[in-house]
């Protein structure tokens, strides 16, 4: 199959179909509504389920029902809608059901705006719903990577019987790029026969629940879930190191759309001989703690600059990972403003300071 020019949101819809998604539940919200519009056409064509729910509360709980009945189910939304889905996220994680959530982040807080943002990082990686659980969180920076990680999200959801959250931003959802579906297919079907509620023919009834009133039983479940998150930390760390192996003086940490801008800025700085590299986490939970340490603790690296479309959220993970052993600076834009390469070039030069960092 030749490459196809697709909008990010439509590519998400097609990728989910390629991944064998059987049910999609949604509620319209800008800037991701094109996923729903695309799947309203496509899901019936492939024999799948499409339901436009009455709210994000209901859409996300429909996922609970479908996933607990053994179906590969998912939803997409944007920030305010994801807040409403926080309830179901907690229950789905608690019931250990595989499911995929996609957040095309818009700027907030509150109703905020409809322009791109990375302001939901902490919600995505540290919580969202109540209780002691984690999502596995992936952050693509191109439309092709969005396709590949969407398919991967379904595989990982099955592998861990845990929800996987993919975070993009309005730009990823709205931009058009060539995408390739060649060689990509559905992950193997998960064997759900030991727990799915499908009718108890010839077996004891299955019960999918999240209420455990016995503290010891609930603690056992908490520990089992903790073990899954520890396994994710060992097996699912994904990142990219861009121009980091020639003794860079400055390491820039960025993900998603911001990483695209950082890449452009670095290319320009490099033309002038300024040695800057980029650390781009692709999994943001688990956060690539060890990789960022290895990159930042190179003797050549004088400091680290974190760039985000927020007032500093991933910054906290970088600070945690680096344990105070390198100076960390932050450059953030908000309100839906995307940083321009020039401002990042300027910021990098300022940090390297005093005419250092290559030719003036």
Partner 1 sequence: MSEPTTIFKRPASMRDAFTHYCPGCTHGVIHRLIAETLDELGLRERTIGIAPVGCSVLAYNYFYCDFQEAAHGRAPALATGIKRVLPDRIVFTYQGDGDLASIGTAEILHAANRGEKFTTVFVNNAVYGMTGGQMAPTTMPNQVTTTCPRGRDVNLAGWPFPVADVLAQLRTPAYVERVAVHTPRHIINAKRAIKQAFRYQMEGRCYSFIEVLSTCPTNWGKTPAEACKWLDEVMVPYFKLGLKKSPDRPPVE
Using CA atoms, how far apart are residues 38 and 220, in angstroms rounded to an integer? 42
The whole-angstrom distance between residue 58's C-alpha and the CA centroid of its chain comes to 22
Residue 61 or 125 with smaller CB distance to partner 1? 61
Shortest distance (Å) from residue 73 CB to partner 1? 7
Task: Report in angstroms how near the CB of residue 213 gets to partner 1 at its nearest.
Answer: 9
Query: What is the per-residue DSSP string for 22-65?
Result: -EEEE---TTSHHHHHHHHHHHHHTT-EEEE-SSHHHHHHHHHH
> Is residue 312 exposed (0-12), middle (13-18) or buried (19+ Cβ within 10 Å)?
middle
What DSSP string describes 144-194?
HHHHHHHHHHHHHHHHHTS-EEEEEEHHHHH-EEEE--TT--PPPPP--TT
Q: How far is the CB of 75 from partner 1 (least distance, A)?
A: 11
Q: Tell me how far, at minimum, the Cβ of 261 lies from partner 1, in Å.
A: 39
> H or E element: which one contains 308?
strand 303-308
**Nearer residue to partner 1 within complex by CB, 86 or 341:** 86
For the chain, state the CA radius of gyration: 21
Q: Which is nearer to partner 1, 69 or 172 (CB)?
A: 69
Q: Considering beta carbons, is residue 158 or 236 the nearer one to partner 1?
A: 158
CB of 40 to partner 1, least distance (A): 14
Query: How many whole angstroms separate alpha carbon 250 and alpha carbon 238?
Result: 21
How far is the CA of 350 from the CAs of 171, 250, 360, in angstroms? Answer: 28, 11, 12
Look at residue 67 and give its three-state secondary structure.
helix
In the bound state with partner 1, the residue whose beta carbon lies nearer, of 30 and 210, is 210
Using the minimum distance from each CB to partner 1, give the nearer residue, 185 or 199: 199
Cα–Cα separations (whole angstroms), residue 257 to 5, 21, 61: 18, 26, 30
Give the residue with the Cβ less far from partner 1, 37 or 50: 50
Provide the minimum distance between the beta carbon of 54 and partner 1 in the complex, in angstroms, as a whole number: 4
Q: Which residues bind partner 1 (CB under 8 A)?
A: 22-23, 25, 49, 51, 53-55, 57-59, 61-71, 73, 87-88, 91, 197-202, 205-211
Of residues 25 and 133, the one with the C-beta less far from partner 1:
25
The CB-of-148 to partner 1 minimum distance in angstroms stands at 26
Choose among 121, 195, 188: nearest CA to 156.
Answer: 188
In angstroms, give the least distance from the CB of 161 to partner 1: 15
- Residue showing tokens 């490099």: 270
């Amino acid at each position: 199959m030749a490459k196809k020019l697709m909008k990010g949101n439509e590519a998400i819809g097609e990728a989910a179909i390629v991944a064998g998604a059987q049910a999609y539940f949604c509620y319209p919200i800008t800037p991701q509504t094109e996923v729903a519009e695309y799947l309203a056409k496509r899901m019936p064509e492939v024999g799948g389920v499409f339901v436009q729910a009455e709210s994000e509360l209901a859409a996300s709980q429909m996922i609970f029902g479908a996933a607990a009945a053994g179906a590969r189910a998912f939803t997409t939304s944007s920030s305010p809608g994801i807040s409403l889905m926080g309830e179901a996220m907690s229950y789905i994680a608690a019931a250990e059901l595989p499911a995929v959530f996609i957040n095309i982040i818009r700027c907030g807080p509150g109703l905020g705006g409809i322009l791109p943002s990375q302001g939901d990082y902490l919600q995505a990686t540290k919580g969202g719903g109540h209780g002691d659980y984690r999502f596995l969180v992936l952050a693509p920076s191109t439309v092709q990577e969005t396709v590949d990680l969407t398919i991967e999200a379904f595989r990982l959801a099955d592998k861990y019987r845990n929800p996987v959250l993919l975070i993009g931003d309005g730009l990823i959802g709205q931009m058009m790029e060539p995408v390739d579906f060649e060689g990509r297919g559905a992950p193997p079907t998960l064997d759900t026969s030991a727990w799915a509620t499908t009718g108890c023919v010839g077996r004891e009834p299955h019960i999918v629940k999240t209420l455990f009133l016995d503290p010891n039983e609930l603690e056992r479940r908490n520990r089992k879930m903790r073990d899954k998150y520890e396994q994710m930390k060992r097996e699912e760390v994904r990142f990219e190191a861009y121009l980091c192996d020639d003794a860079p003086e400055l390491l820039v940490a960025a993900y998603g759309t911001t990483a695209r801008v950082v890449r452009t800025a670095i290319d320009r700085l490099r033309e002038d001989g300024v040695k800057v590299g980029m650390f781009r986490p692709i999994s943001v939970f688990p956060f690539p703690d060890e990789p960022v340490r290895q990159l930042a603790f190179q003797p050549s690296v004088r400091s680290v600059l974190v760039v985000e479309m927020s007032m500093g959220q991933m910054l906290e993970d970088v600070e945690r990972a680096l344990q105070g052993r390198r100076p960390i600076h932050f450059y953030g834009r908000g309100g839906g403003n995307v940083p321009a390469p020039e401002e990042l070039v300027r910021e990098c030069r300022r940090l390297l300071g005093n005419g250092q960092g290559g030719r003036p």
